[in-house]
Chains A and B, each alone.
Chain A
Amino acid sequence: MAQPLVKKDDDRDEEADYSPFLGIEKGAVLQDARVFNDPQLDARRCSQVITKLLYLLNQGDSFTKVEATEVFFAVTKLFQSKDNGLRRMVYLIIKDLSPSADEVIIVTSSLMKDMNSRTDMYRANAIRVLCRITDGTLLTQIERYLKQAIVDKNPVVASAALVSGIHLLQTTPEIVKRWSNEVQEAVQSRAALVQFHALALLHQIRQNDRLAVSKLVTSLTKGTVRSPLAQCLLIRYTSQVIRETGVNSQTGDRPFYDYLESCLRHKAEMVIFEAAKAITELSNVTTRELTPAITVLQLLLSSSKPVLRFAAVRTLNKVAMTHPMAVTNCNIDMESLISDQNRSIATLAITTLLKTGNESSVDRLMKQITNFMSDIADEFKIVVVEAIRSLCLKFPLKYRSLMNFLSNILREEGGFEYKKAIVDSIVILIRDIPDAKESGLLHLCEFIEDCEFTYLSTQILHFLGNEGPKTSDPSKYIRYIYNRVILENATVRASAVSTLAKFGALVDSLKPRIFILLRRCLFDNDDEVRDRATLYLNSLGDGSVAETDKDVKEFLFGSLDIPLTNMETTLRNYAQNPTEEPFDIDSVPREVKSLPLVEKKAPGKKPTPLGPPPPAPTSASDAYERILSTIPEFANFGKLFKSSVPVELTEAETEYAVNVVKHIFDHHVVFQYNCTNTIPEQLLENVTVIVDASEAEEFSEVGVKPLKSLPYDTPAQTFVAFERPEGVPSVGKFSNTLRFTVKEVDTSTGEAEDDGVEDEYQLEDFEVVAADYILKVGVSNFRNAWESMDPDTERVDEYGLGPRESLVEAVNAVISLLGLQPCEGTETVPNNSRSHTCLLSGVYIGNVKVLVRLSFGMDSSKEVAMKLAVRSDDVNVSEALHEIVASG
């Protein structure tokens, strides 16, 4: 604030304890709410009681259903009062009480009256309240008023209607879409906020219509935009249009770039920054395009406002990931930010410098960072650690000073996440920089000597077990490992036993000594530790210096190539159904469930554009298996090999929504058609899909399971089964027609008429492709898996993929063509890179394991070439994969 107020300390203490709501009690407030029922309303008193109720609600006090209903009914009485202030509070509390549907009906008429009031404040607020609490059915009644309100001459009323429209679009899009003429008119409004809200709503209504969005942007970028907020919106929409249209291939110009650039000279900082950010985020942005944005951001770096400095350095930090050279001009400004009061800004500055720095500046930077680390929060430290990790990978020669830095900070105080980030970084450096291995392992050993986190200790022990035996002197690690058996808790002790055993199995000369140590573990007081020791002692041979059997190694230390979540579900099912049969590990499905089903948006849900994605719904293929097993016709098809993701057979928002899931069995294919009827006035009966398989010669139809009835908005399935030759990945194209009997439904009673009419509805075609016969199954260590496969099964060939937009596109195309699981994050291609290697794995029908190595390269004319190497358990399958690529 401009004038800091001088505070007297003794005054403060008394004040701090005072609050008008001191000792407030819900019961008493509910009692007070009785004044709402007085025949002579005391507006002031009523407002006070509402404030108290709002206070309780805001503090998170929960009202029981009965209490909320009572308060709500009492509040509705207050519509009799003519007091403006009180009415305003009534609006507020109705929104906060979020009444149920039957309660909404009580206030609807009062609110509708206010919506048509001559007082603008009543109109604006009644619209907002009513739209907040209403459901679809009521909306049709008030739609007419809302349309009028959108073009109301009072800007507050118009904005209220538009903002409500934005919310309603999430729940009842079909109604809001009918308002586009009015919204279009409001975009031309002279009132700045009305234009802003209208623009937001219009864009949302049209967002699936590229052409319309493009037209909207074209007209507005030439027209008048009245507020910085609307200008920001327009910049976002423009970026979207640019993303979708791409660069003009002849001139190399980007449409609308000039508009973005002109926004860099806008007078509002909000707009300048939005434009600079948009330019830096353009895909494949050129240095020429970047320069003006970087210049603007550089100016913001020395702004007196922390928010602007933060915004600029955060954006430059992102740019540095892809265009480090473009940011180097800002390095001097950036270095002065290391001492910024705001540590978020300082951290971002440091990490940017780490990304743009060259080999010679590393040591100087590290010195600055060491001083800086002590006074920032763990969150920021993690960011710095990650930046140092990538720096080290960039300049492997500098590993010594960077590794030292990491080991130093590992010894200092810090929380779990921070320590984990450091450990992860050291592990990655050990993996990628062979020279760093021995010193890195010793740093980790020292760390577990005094590590309070069980999880980290066990992770490091596991890693030691894999890497330690391969070093020049494995024996020096044994002391650290055995110390764990003496000093730590049971979990760590058990991992230490496994690590010891690995050394024993891999280093023959150490075996006798390891056996002595393992025998001591037989007296541990924990079951798991003793069990492990016993297992290893019995399977590793007799303790003499001899090579351990390959099968034993594989059994004890081989990686489990089954996804753990699948294992968990299967085990849980097994435990639920007591049986004499032993658990069969082959019964665990191997498919990685990475693609959650597309779920319909739950009505009433507020949009969370930037929040985390919703938790994945329970596994789709489990659900499929359950559905299919209930259908007797399909019972003899055997075990389900794979279910595809749903393929949409209708456009969005048509009368009937249908998608298909392809279920692959050994000899059969079952198509599951998921149908939804979106017309409330119709009931569909006897629904089947007529499939024309004339372009899928190897398939012959063997069964149909019709759907008896399909009421409004209740998804249900119908199935069609085909037989196909075993072992061959038959492909083909299928044309589909939905056939059904339609009956009219009286929406007021929900009853259907007796007589129906037969009708058909054309669906889109779909294909069964080779990828449908391949399961996505990941492997944890691709190199090990690759090397353990017979090199004779390897088939290598090269392919030209023609000109492509980017390498990302080419990589994704091949991955989806093959339907394999990308391993070790190799599906992500760094921006603008010219070559990339991608590792894939999976299981081919007939349970044949397949591994694929893809090497891509792109030349200056954007021609992409690819080398495909396949290894599998069966040479024929290796060849089959090449055929897929050759024909795809």
Chain B
Amino acid sequence: MEFGPFVKSILILDLEGKRVASKFYSDDWPTNEERRTFEKNVFSMTHMKNARTEAEVTIFKDEIVVYKFIEDLHFYVTGGEEENEVLLATVLEAVLGAIFIVLKKKVNKMEALTHLDLVLLCLDETIDGGIIVDTDAKSIARKATGVSLDPGAEELTIGEALKSARGQVMKALSGFI
């Protein structure tokens, strides 16, 4: 994607900077060792910051890092120096929003690991090989939970299932979407 937006990595780390689930879409870090080092660097630059109400941003070795913390989880979306940081923040909020929905509002390390399948599916539905697939949290969550994509059927299934939760979810979501 010479011109298109390109996401280089999404990191989900815990309070100690350990990987909960991370995806790397760029060749910048071919080995797991380099990936760990990158995570460590990003974490040590940011973990003291307060990024709980608004997404924060920094630049680290020509890499734009947009991040937000929820409970004991640290979420990062990174892109190249030329990337539009507002756009990366949109991707971050999409991932967060979708994970928020599939984890039923309980976003923390234990829940994320217990439902790791859903978390990974959310990432898979947001970014494909660095290219943005979707930035709508609800639609990502819907695809990740594997409910039929037929718009008619969706109203009956996930609509019903989440109806009770939706009011609250949306209220919470409006805080950061």
Contacts and interface: CB of A to CB of B under 8 A. Distances in A.
Q: Do A and B bind each other?
A: yes
Interface in B5-39: 5-6, 8, 15, 19, 21-22, 25-28, 32, 35-36
B117 A54 contact: yes
Interface string A8-21: 00001001101111
A306 interface: yes
B68 to A, nearest CB: 9
Contacts of A607: 1-2, 6, 130
Contact of A60 (B26, B35, B81, B133): B35
A58 B148 contact: no
Contact of B32 (A60, A132, A344): A60
Contacts of B58: 310, 342, 344
Nearest to B153: A120
Given A58-B19, A204-B2, A306-B55, A269 B27 contact: no
A83 B113 CA distance: 22
Contact of A163 (B66, B116, B117, B133): B133
Interface in B33-53: 35-36, 45, 49-50, 52-53
B26 A608 contact: yes
Interface in A56-83: 58-60, 62
A306 B57 contact: yes
Contact of A306 (B56, B59, B150): B56
Contacts of B174: 2
Contacts of B135: 229
B121 A128 contact: no
A163 to B, nearest CB: 5
Interface string A91-131: 01001000000000000000000000001110010001000
Interface string A590-629: 0000000000000001111111100000000000000000
B32 A606 contact: no
Contact of A606 (B15, B35, B130, B133): B130
B50 A341 contact: yes
Contacts of A193: 133-134
Given A51-B117, A92-B124, A159 B133 contact: yes
Given A88-B121, A306-B57, A342-B56, A121 B148 contact: yes
B114 interface: yes
A307 B85 contact: yes
A642 interface: no
Contacts of A85: 146
Contacts of A379: 60-61
Given A60-B36, A229-B135, A609 B52 contact: no
A89 B117 contact: yes
Contact of B54 (A167, A306, A605, A608): A306
Contacts, number: 199
B3 A310 contact: no
A166 B56 contact: no
Contact of A200 (B61, B120, B131): B131
A422 interface: no
A29 B117 CA distance: 16
B142 to A, nearest CB: 10
A669 to B, nearest CB: 37
Give the interface centre of B28, B32, B59, B83 by most chain A CB atoms within 10 Å.
B59
Contacts of B103: none
A342 B57 CA distance: 8
Contact of A5 (B27, B71, B85): B71
B175 A311 contact: no
A572 interface: no
A274 interface: yes
Nearest to A166: B131
A632 interface: no
B6 A610 contact: yes
A203 interface: yes
A377 interface: yes
B80 A229 contact: no
A2 B84 contact: no
A88 B112 CA distance: 18
Contacts of B146: 84-85, 88, 121
Interface in B95-139: 107, 109-110, 113-114, 116-117, 120-121, 124, 128-135
B82 to A, nearest CB: 5
A233 B60 contact: no
Contact of B132 (A120, A121, A229): A229
B46 to A, nearest CB: 10
Contacts of A3: 172
A885 to B, nearest CB: 36
A816 interface: no
Contact of A609 (B1, B19, B114, B134): B1
Nearest to B96: A1
Given A55-B116, A610-B82, A154 B149 contact: yes
Given A163-B133, A204-B1, A609-B6, A307 B120 contact: no
Contacts of A124: 149
B108 to A, nearest CB: 8
Contacts of A84: 146
Contacts of B59: 314, 344
Nearest to B132: A229
A379 B2 CA distance: 28
A344 B130 CA distance: 25
B167 interface: no
B117 A1 contact: no
Nearest to A61: B32
A207 interface: yes
A5 B56 CA distance: 20
A156 interface: yes
Contacts of B61: 379
Given A2-B172, A19-B113, A341-B50, A307 B89 contact: yes
Interface in A267-319: 269-270, 273-274, 277, 304-308, 310-311, 314
A758 to B, nearest CB: 41
A232 interface: yes
10 contacts: A1-B172, A15-B110, A20-B114, A21-B116, A58-B21, A163-B131, A207-B3, A609-B6, A610-B82, A611-B28
Given A15-B109, A121-B149, 6 more contacts: A5-B71, A16-B109, A47-B117, A92-B120, A163-B128, A270-B86
Interface of B: 1-6, 8, 15, 19, 21-22, 25-28, 32, 35-36, 45, 49-50, 52-62, 66, 70-72, 79-87, 89-90, 107, 109-110, 113-114, 116-117, 120-121, 124, 128-135, 143, 146, 148-150, 171-172, 174-176
Q: Which 8 A-B pairs have the closest CB atoms?
A: A610-B80, A60-B32, A2-B175, A120-B149, A344-B58, A307-B89, A200-B4, A51-B117
